[in-house]
Amino acid sequence: MANLKLFKFWGRSPLTIVEMIIGFSSIIGGLYLVSPLLSYSVMTNGATPLVATIANPIALICYGVFLLIAGALVVAGIIKRKYRWRSSGLFMIILIRTYGLLVGFLVAGFLPLTWLASLVVLLTAVVCYIVVRGFVTIGGGD
């Protein structure tokens, strides 16, 4: 019952809250990639397959900036109720996550399941994009 009150208080559907989580996580991921925290993490723990593949700092910063912009578009589109911003941001996230998934899969291979988390985020973003674009309607949502 508390969950329903939260959704009514926000005036949003559960799918919109999932979109908000994807948007905020993309913003945090983008900030992490363009901040000095990444170089500290690589020095301390070693490079991930994605970071090792995109060894060029400019390419890594571009990847982070695209994540940051896409997440900001999703969050701003939800807050201002601009469906075009939401769908553009979700489509950017789909493209960025597909690239990250392919790079991780090609570098690390199939057996270390490091690519599985990227696949889950990618598929969730695809479902959100399909609903926002109106290809499918889910029970009177946002």
In 1-142, at which residue ranges do the beta strands (DSSP E only) sit?
A: none
Whether residue 106 lies inside any domain: the answer is yes
pTM of the predicted model, to two decimals?
A: 0.78
What per-residue confidence (pLDDT) applies to 7? Answer: 52
Whether residue 95 lies inside any domain: the answer is yes
104 pLDDT above the threshold of 70: yes
Q: What is the dihedral of CA 25, 27, 30, 35, to 10 degrees?
A: -110
Query: Which of 40-44, 70-74, 108-112 shows the lowest per-residue confidence on average (mean pLDDT)?
Result: 108-112
Do 141 and 13 touch, CB atoms closer than 8 A? Answer: yes
Token pair, residue 8, equals 């009514």
Domain limits for position 125:
14-132
Closest CA to 72 of 101, 92, 58: 92
C-alpha distances in Å from residue 118, one per residue of 19, 108, 125: 15, 13, 11
Q: Which residue bears the tokens 């913003």?
A: 27
Whether residue 38 lies inside any domain: the answer is yes
Whether residue 7 lies inside any domain: the answer is no
Domains identified in the chain, total number: 1
Tell me what the pLDDT averaged over the chain comes to.
80
